[in-house]
Amino acid sequence: MNDSAPEAPDEATPARPFGTVVVRAAIGGLLMGLANLVPGISGGTMLLAAGVYPAFIAAIADVTTLRFRLVPMVLLGTIVVSAGLAILLLAGATRTLVIEQRFAMYSLFIGLTLGGVPLVWRMARPGTPAVWGGAAAGFGLMLAMALGPTADGGGGGSTLLLVAAGAAGAGAMILPGVSGGYLLLLLGQYLPILAAIDQLKGALGGLGDGGVDMALLGEAAAVVVPVGIGVVVGIVLISNGLRWLLERAPKATLGFLLGLLVGAVVGLWPFQEGVPPAVGSHFKGRVVTAESLGEIDRKDYPLAPFAPTAGQAASSIALVLLGLAATLAIDRVGGGEGDEAGAAD
């Protein structure tokens, strides 16, 4: 029995047609941008579902090691531009849909996420103890994250913790199944980082009139700069680390990614809705009063499960199947190989 891992792609590996690479990258970037607009969903999951994940990792690793090749650069640029356009053009509509029709949107994303499972399985097969062990570890990690408590996030953090938070956010961009916002909540840095961004915007608000608030700018920079350093460090280390693992331990690594992908669905249970916090309870580090309750945005309401109606359950199933069909259709682009590792030029 030959359990040897599949060889890593090299310059001799037949590459996908250039047009196929661009189409897959554009679709993957669009899905990644949409995922970044939805709490609990990873952009890496969407790239995995689109079948461009291995080449994305290889392209980032190339750039961070100053190795510039045509196809990886085009793929990376296409993903970045598509994700940016999706965020810019669809942010308002997506957030509204998530708030008003959460169960429908989460059902659709469950289907999109599950559609990536056959793609990863094709790269990981045949199943070996390394694959199943990695899958169990990845699924267990996602289960613990979905069911475990989150930090309150009302206070600040040390510089080292802010760097770690930035690295975690970068990891969430690269690792499928991991939500950046969720990791920041676990670290208790979600609110401080958002507050710092608001401070930065406020400090630079009078830039054109020469009225920059230097004190406010300094407070914001004390948070934003360490986080930015963490993002750069995280991208460099995680992308190159994943590439190293995919080359030297592909079975265990792909199994782990498979577990992350399946486990991501746990955090996307569709039948939950935002409910206003009770007066007297603690919300985001403060006690809720009758006056402050009206100031809380609906999108910030804590989520609580609800019993779906027959129509909602049927609609959810239909949307899951629609998302699954969409991902499988994407997989058929360029022959449905699901592994465009031909990122070599």
Among 90-99, 129-138, 224-233, 327-336, the minimum mean pLDDT is found in 327-336
Sequence-distant (6+) residues with CB within 8 A of 314 are none
In a domain, 185, yes or no: yes
d(CA 240, CA 65): 9
- Residue 341: its pLDDT value, please? 40
| DSSP character string of 147-216 | HS------S---HHHHHHHHHHHHHHHHSTT--HHHHHHHHT-HHHHHHHHHHHHHHTTTGGGT---HHH
Is-contact 79 52, C-beta < 8 A?
yes
b/e for 9-18, b at 16 or more Cβ within 10 A? beeeeebbee
pLDDT in tens, 4-44: 444 444 433 345 566 677 888 888 888 887 766 665 566 77
What single DSSP character describes residue 116? T
Please state, for a pLDDT cut of 70, what percent of the chain lies above it.
72
State the residue range of the domain holding 59. 18-271+307-335
**Average pLDDT estimate for 100-128:** 81
Please report the pLDDT score of residue 334 as a whole number.
Answer: 43
Residue with the larger pLDDT of the pair 331 and 155? 331
Q: Which of 146-160, 250-264, 272-286 has the lowest mean pLDDT?
A: 146-160
Statement: residue 61 has pLDDT above 90: no
Whether residue 4 is contained in a domain is answered as no
Q: Which residues, including other chains, have CB under 8 Å from residue 115's CB and lie 6 or more apart?
A: 49, 323, 324, 325, 326, 327, 328, 330, 331
The whole-number average pLDDT for the span 140-167 is 71
Q: 203 in a domain, yes or no?
A: yes
pLDDT for 130: 93
* pLDDT value of residue 299: 65
Q: Which positions ≥6 away from 220 have C-beta within 8 Å?
A: 196, 197, 199, 200, 203
Most confident of 250-259, 300-309, 325-334: 250-259
**169: alpha, beta or left, given left = phi > 0 and alpha = psi -120 to 50?**
alpha
* Confidence label for 131 from pLDDT (cuts 50, 70 and 90): very high
Q: Is residue 290 part of a domain?
A: no
Burial 261-291 (b: 16+ CB within 10 A, else e): bbbbbbbbebbeebeebeeeeebeeeebeee
In a domain, 298, yes or no: no
Task: Say how many C-beta atoms besides its own lie within 10 A of residue 309's C-beta.
Answer: 10
Range with the poorest average pLDDT among 155-159, 310-314, 316-320, 338-342: 338-342
Is the pLDDT at 327 greater than 50? The verdict is yes
Residue 16: predicted pLDDT = 54
Average pLDDT over the chain, rounded to whole?
75
Whether residue 1 lies inside any domain: the answer is: no
This prediction's pTM: 0.64
The answer to whether residue 292 sits within a structural domain is no
Residue by residue, DSSP assigns 297-331 as -GGGSPEEE-PPPHHHHHHHHHHHHHHHHHHHHHH
Domain count within the chain: 1
Whether residue 283 is contained in a domain is answered as no
